[in-house]
Amino acid sequence: MLRVEHIGIAVKSLQDSVPLFEKLLNTPCYKTETVESEAVNTAFFRQGETKIELLESTKPEGVIQAFIAKKGEGIHHLAFEVEDIAAEMERLKKEGFVLLNETPKKGADNKLVCFLHPKSTNAVLIELCQENRR
Ligand code: ZN
């Protein structure tokens, strides 16, 4: 894995949390994007080499809404950038980690992504991401 690409934070409302993080980080949100397949609206901030991704549910039955209902707002996942997502998925699978998707899927910010089940990673939801070069 190359680096922590971003940290995902579940929030109830981007409208409330974007200005808060703009003040906190002293940098403007540079991008918002809806990922329909994940039922999330996202907002991104750059902080040095790493980004902060705020995640807001687009619907009551979405995964972010379910997370907030269970655990409240807060850190949702850690995303590691990888050079070759297919190879890394293969490696982690062999090591016994549970992949939440068997093939890389399109995530926010022009990435191919794969999530690892938290039951196999000390309860931390891990995202692998690779720049989508196509
Ligand atoms: Zn993410």
Q: How far is the CA of 77 from the centre of ligand 1 (A)?
A: 7
Q: How far is the CA of 76 from the centre of ligand 1 (A)?
A: 9
Encode pLDDT of 5-53 as tens digits. 999 999 999 999 999 999 999 999 999 999 998 899 999 999 999 999 9
Task: Output the pTM of the full model.
Answer: 0.93
Residue-level pLDDT at 15: 98
Encode pLDDT of 49-63 as tens digits. 999 999 999 999 999
Residue-level pLDDT at 134: 66
Q: How far is the CA of 5 from the centre of ligand 1 (A)?
A: 9
Mean of pLDDT over the chain = 95
Q: Please write down the long-range contacts of 124-128, taking CB distance under 8 Å and 24 or more positions apart.
A: 124/77, 124/78, 125/8, 125/76, 125/77, 125/78, 126/77, 126/78, 126/79, 126/80, 127/8, 127/77, 127/78, 127/79, 127/80, 128/1, 128/79, 128/80, 128/82, 128/85, 128/88, 128/89, 128/92
